[in-house]
Chain A
Amino acid sequence: GQQVMQIPQYQHVQEGEDFTTYCNSSTTLSNIQWYKQRPGGHPVFLIQLVKSGEVKKQKRLTFQFGEAKKNSSLHITATQTTDVGTYFCAGSSSNTGKLIFGQGTTLQVKP
């Protein structure tokens, strides 16, 4: 079945350093979504990418969707302690319409 893999599982950075998480799907996706879950909280939608090669920015966050629509990345520039949490990618294929989540990358930021 469809699988969405995300790496790394954990990342510890010093405040001010950059951070990147990568997402790979076993099948072509119709779109990719990114969510953030703060410790003890629930996943909150950040952004959706639909087009091949699409790049979107939200302040210090940059999201990319691969040309083949099978991979994606989230890059955070100059991390802050407020960036702490688990970042999930989630993909859906046009075949099933099912939203499959990656395993998540948990980011710790040392002040």
Chain B
Amino acid sequence: DTAVSQTPKYLVTQMGNDKSIKCEQNLGHDTMYWYKQDSKKFLKIMFSYNNKELIINETVPNRFSPKSPDKAHLNLHINSLELGDSAVYFCASSQGRWAFFGQGTRLTVV
């Protein structure tokens, strides 16, 4: 069983569209994250939720809206996609120690 699973793995879409990425963890962790990895491999934290509550919200355009229906799920919805949103988005979870990452979603905006 995959500990942290993200869907879809690849996403190609046109500018201006709205898309969602889903993430689920079966580790029983309280904390979940979204990271964005750009073409230079820089991993930048976007959001962090602890037990369904938003605890970290970095300087991210408000076109990005995370939602955590329960502590095992953290979804990311993106409105009005732009070319600069093209990146790999990683979901991760932790229980106060190290982070377990999902396989990543490669988003390409054309």
Contact string, A95-110, partner B, CB cutoff 8 A, digits 1/0?
A: 0101111011010000
B78 within 8 A of partner (CB): no
Which B residues lie at the A interface, using CB under 8 A? 33, 35, 40-45, 48, 56, 90, 94, 97-104
Q: List 13 A-B contacts (CB under 8 A).
A: A35-B99, A37-B41, A42-B103, A42-B104, A43-B43, A44-B101, A45-B99, A98-B45, A99-B33, A100-B45, A101-B42, A103-B40, A104-B42
Quick one: which of A32-56 are within 8 Å of B by CB? 33, 35, 37, 41-45, 48
Contact string, A51-74, partner B, CB cutoff 8 A, digits 1/0?
A: 000000000000000000000000
Q: How far is the CB of A69 from chain B (nearest CB, A)?
A: 17
The 7 closest A-B CB pairs, nearest first, are: A101-B43, A45-B98, A42-B101, A43-B101, A104-B41, A42-B104, A33-B98
Residues on the B chain within 8 Å of A44, using CB: 101
Decide: B90 and A98 in contact? CB cutoff 8 A: no
The interface size of chain A toward B, counting residues with CB under 8 Å, comes to 20
A79 within 8 A of partner (CB): no
Cα distance A42–B33 when bound, in Å? 14
Query: B92 — nearest CB in chain A belongs to which residue?
Result: A43
Cα distance A106–B98 when bound, in Å? 21
A25 within 8 A of partner (CB): no
A24 within 8 A of partner (CB): no
Cα distance A104–B40 when bound, in Å? 9
A86 within 8 A of partner (CB): yes
Decide: A43 and B90 in contact? CB cutoff 8 A: yes
Cα distance A98–B33 when bound, in Å? 10
Decide: A104 and B43 in contact? CB cutoff 8 A: yes
Decide: B40 and A45 in contact? CB cutoff 8 A: no
Q: How far is the CB of A30 from chain B (nearest CB, A)?
A: 11
Decide: B90 and A86 in contact? CB cutoff 8 A: no
Residue in B45, B56, B97, B99 whose Cβ sees the most chain A Cβ within 10 Å: B99
